[in-house]
Amino acid sequence: AVAAAGEFAAVGLLQSLLTLQLVDGLTRGNAYGRGHASQECRALGLGNLISGLCGGMGGCGLLGQSLVNISAGGTGRASAVAYVLFVALGLTCFGSLMGAIPVGALVGLMLAVARHTFSWSSVRLLYGRRVGLADAVTILGVSLLTVRRGLAVAVVVGVVATALRFCWDSCNDLYSAHEVG
């Protein structure tokens, strides 16, 4: 149970930090500035701890919800608070009605969000052979590992593979100049 909790925490933290990085890039130049990763991590941990002590489930920053919020024009803190209040109102006042939504409709919604948030340019890069073989193998390997073993394992393997490739490329670029004199 502890290993599974650690994996869930790592995946949630990673997803939240990647979402923070993407949102910072999309909202560059707004009045609120950039997000703070350490503050995000502490708030996520505290919120999940309190949620668990109250019998709830943990959560993390959601890429789909964040992108929908930004595409609707919400770039400030008030838009996130409005989203939370809307969800809380929906669950408390219309919980039974929301429970009647067919699972198929929710799956369709999830697939629509996934289609909207997926970086289709990465497929064109692979198909057009605009990335190197090592990068293509890393992308495909991490994608396969995500499906087969889970996101946490895939991210660790991807980071290690990329670091090893960087070391290899750096070693091959070394040169020495020696003057005899």
**pLDDT reported for residue 105:** 92
**pLDDT reported for residue 164:** 92
Distance (Å, rounded) from C-alpha 49 to C-alpha 42?
11
H helices, E strands: number in the chain: 9, 0
The residues, ordered by sequence, that sit 6+ positions from 113 with a Cβ below 8 Å of its Cβ are: 64, 67, 68
**Would you say how long the chain is, in residues?**
181
**pLDDT reported for residue 104:** 93
Are 15 and 61 in contact by the 8 Å Cβ rule? The answer is: yes
**pLDDT reported for residue 151:** 75
Distance (Å, rounded) from C-alpha 112 to C-alpha 75?
22
Are 73 and 25 in contact by the 8 Å Cβ rule? The answer is: no
Each of the 181 residues of the chain gets a pLDDT tens digit; together they read 788 888 888 888 888 888 888 888 777 766 666 778 888 889 888 988 898 898 888 888 777 778 778 778 877 778 878 888 988 898 889 888 888 999 999 899 888 877 776 777 777 777 777 788 888 888 889 889 988 988 778 888 888 999 998 888 888 776 667 777 6
**pLDDT reported for residue 103:** 92
118 torsion bin: left (phi>0), alpha (psi -120 to 50), beta (else): beta
Residue in 27, 117, 16 with CA at minimum distance from that of residue 68: 117
